[in-house]
Amino acid sequence: MDIVEEKLEDIEIGALLDTVYKRYGYDFRQYNKESLKRRIHTLIEKNNVSTISELQNYVLHDPEWLDKFLLAISVSVTAMFRDPTFYLSLRHKVIPFLRTYPTVRVWVAGCSTGEEAYSMAILLQEEGLLDRSSIYATDMNQTVLKAARDGIFPIARMKEYTDNYLKAGGHQEFSTYYTAAFESIIFNQSLKKNLIFAQHNLATDQSFNEFNLIICRNVMIYFNEMLQRRVFNLLHESLAVLGILALGNRESIKHDPHTIYYEDIDEKERIYKRIS
């Protein structure tokens, strides 16, 4: 692609993102540029759309195309107990701290289809904290939130999830937490009773509660620097003093102005405590 074509493509993408924001309120304008390009190109190739401008027209006039766009652009790579050493660190270094509170509020930001939220519910149940905990799991995408609320997942992934669970220090047979039927599993209702799934857009929405633990992993790597600063500020506003902030293994608070308010709990796993 030559310079002229690249500039035209940037104009088309800018117009598409402006359309999505003005028509529907979803703001992707500060997402990482190269990541957006890759996802948009994948979307138009899979759907035999000729140009980005044609895609813009579909999205503007057809809500079903908005759903396709959101699914393509939203980051939904997830798994139960993904990165088991992270959950092992939560068990050993964060759970003892959470035990000191009469009630515990947890926010799983960017929860996608819910695997991380259910992982937290299992961990808290095994550590005797689920009954006095509330887990708020949010995402901007209503389609993935519906899947999360249903708690139904492919049975083909249970071997991977079981391996992760055991590496994360799981105490029981992982199969005790779900019921299998045909090619799917559904998680037990006991895990869902303190789970609240809700729509929330990190790019545009405000703080909605104060939390003892915020988990926002592998989300901000898709944002540009300006949006990262906004989200860090939102997370900071939402975290109680002495609360715990957990980020992804490619993310760090070290280069954000808020770093002075935090100390390391586990730098390798990107877990921090707010000290003021």
Mean pLDDT of 54-77: 86
pLDDT band for 63, please (50, 70, 90 cuts): confident
Rg (CA), the chain: 20
Burial bucket for residue 116 (CB in 10 Å: 0-12, 13-18, 19+): buried
pLDDT digits (tens, 9 = 90+) for 232-257: 999 999 999 999 999 998 898 888 89
**Full DSSP string of 217-236:** -SSGGGB-HHHHHHHHHHHH
165/102 Cα distance (integer angstroms): 27
Sheet holding 262-266, edge to edge: 195-199, 133-139, 104-109, 211-216, 239-247, 271-274, 262-266
Mean pLDDT of 68-85: 85
CA dist 225 to 31, 221, 222, Å?
9, 9, 10
pLDDT digits (tens, 9 = 90+) for 115-134: 999 999 999 999 999 999 99
Give the per-residue pLDDT at 256. 87
Integer distance in angstroms from the first to the last C-alpha of the chain? 50
Q: Six-digit token pair at 234?
A: 């939102």
Mean pLDDT of 182-197: 95
Give the per-residue pLDDT at 62. 92
Please tell me which residue, 177 or 204, carries the higher pLDDT value. Answer: 177
Domains of the chain: 3-73 (no CATH), 84-274 (3.40.50.150)
Contact 214, 109 (CB under 8 A): yes
46/58 Cα distance (integer angstroms): 15
- CA angle 138-254-167, nearest 5°? 60
pLDDT digits (tens, 9 = 90+) for 95-118: 999 999 999 999 999 999 999 999
Q: Which residues of 20-34 are buried (b: 16+ CB within 10 A; e: fewer)?
A: beeeeebbbbbbbee
Helix count (H) and strand count (E) of the chain?
11, 10
Dihedral sign (CA 225, 228, 229, 230): positive
Number of Cα atoms under 13 Å in the Cβ half of residue 159: 1
CA dist 41 to 62, 67, 114, Å?
19, 16, 27
Amino acid letter for position 98: L
pLDDT of 73 higher than 90: no
Q: Six-digit token pair at 177?
A: 């937490």
Q: Rounded to 5, what percent of the chain is helix, strand, coil?
A: 50, 20, 30
Q: Tokens 């959950």 correspond to what residue?
A: 87
